[in-house]
Amino acid sequence: MNVPISGLCILSALPLTATGALRFPGSHSKSGTSISLSKRVHVNTLITEPGTAEIDWSNLYSFNSGDYAMPSALKYTPRGTNVLWGRTEYSVSADSNTTAVNATAVVHDGPHFDFAIAPFASFYLRDESGARLGSTAIARYDSGRNSTGVTATWSGATHSSPNNPAGLFDLGFGYGRNLQGSPFLEKFTPHTNLILEKATGQQNTVALFEGIEFQMTERFALDLSGQHFSLNHGPADNQIVLGLTVNLGHAH
């Protein structure tokens, strides 16, 4: 079995977690989880290496509101030979407003093309009530040092409100390229993402992400990214995220 653990980087960074493009208007979660999902499309592997656990810890600052948040996640993929136990990563994440559980299952692992399904549930800790349930589909194609991908996410609210729409659909596109030229340059992977979002009763919105990941060692990676939400309906929310991923190695 070839679980996709040989991508451009060994670690699955982000912020963060892959809970889908869970972004709710007026909440920090829209910033905390989206980078993590985006990076899986073109920089990191779709799931953590089987038999290992990872911790993602990030620092996020919004230039518009002055808000600061520290989203974090714990991810683990059991070692096994089937989809649910060996090709599925299970994760728990939290930020200042929400906590989420997620399972990312690799249903196709080819030499260049990979496909995964990631159902999730996110629960509000404050400001809102209820939960959001949904799923993300992730398709990724690797060729040499280039990696491109597409994501599609849908989620529904158990208790809708102006800041927690009844339905939310995201379509994302991403590209990353591992640098070359020297052993030092090969530690860097610039990446960019574009996400289109439609929420029930609201206008379509556009978000843009750009950043660069630095693979310090096999177990440590840093990522510095910019995030820009609501570009087509100003004023845009401009943010910066510094994330650290630590792979804890094989569990015994």
Average pLDDT, integer, range 167-191: 94
Residue 9: how many other CB atoms lie within 10 Å: 23
Give the domain range for residue 212. 29-250
Q: C-alpha 82: how far from its chain's center?
A: 24
- Which pLDDT value is given to residue 89? 95
Average pLDDT, integer, range 80-97: 91
Residue 245 within any structural domain of the chain: yes
pLDDT at 147 over 60: yes
pLDDT at 13 over 70: no
- Which pLDDT value is given to residue 25? 37
pLDDT at 34 over 70: no
Residue 19 within any structural domain of the chain: no
Question: Exposed, middle or buried by CB within 10 Å (0-12, 13-18, 19+), for 185?
Answer: exposed
Residue 123's nearest CA partner among 102, 144, 100, 146 is 100
Residue 98 within any structural domain of the chain: yes
Going from the C-alpha of 165 to that of each of 29, 49, 125, 168, the distances in angstroms are 14, 35, 17, 7
pLDDT at 2 over 70: no
Q: What is the CATH number of the domain that holds 182?
A: 2.40.160.40
pLDDT at 130 over 50: yes
Residue 97 within any structural domain of the chain: yes
Residue 3 within any structural domain of the chain: no
Residue 130 within any structural domain of the chain: yes
Residue 229 within any structural domain of the chain: yes
Average pLDDT, integer, range 91-109: 91
Average pLDDT, integer, range 116-134: 90
- Which pLDDT value is given to residue 12? 32
Write down the pTM of the prediction: 0.84
Q: Please count the structural domains in the chain.
A: 1
3-17, 34-48, 205-219: the lowest-pLDDT one: 3-17
- Which pLDDT value is given to residue 30? 47
- Which pLDDT value is given to residue 20? 31
Mean pLDDT estimate for the chain: 83
- Which pLDDT value is given to residue 9? 33
- Which pLDDT value is given to residue 163? 81
Residue 174 within any structural domain of the chain: yes
pLDDT-based confidence at 194, cuts 50/70/90?
very high
Residue 189's nearest CA partner among 7, 22, 1, 3 is 7
pLDDT at 5 over 80: no
- Which pLDDT value is given to residue 162? 82
Which DSSP letter does residue 236 get? P
Q: Collapse the DSSP code of 86 into the 3-class scheme (helix H, G, I; strand E, B; otherwise coil) and give the result.
A: strand
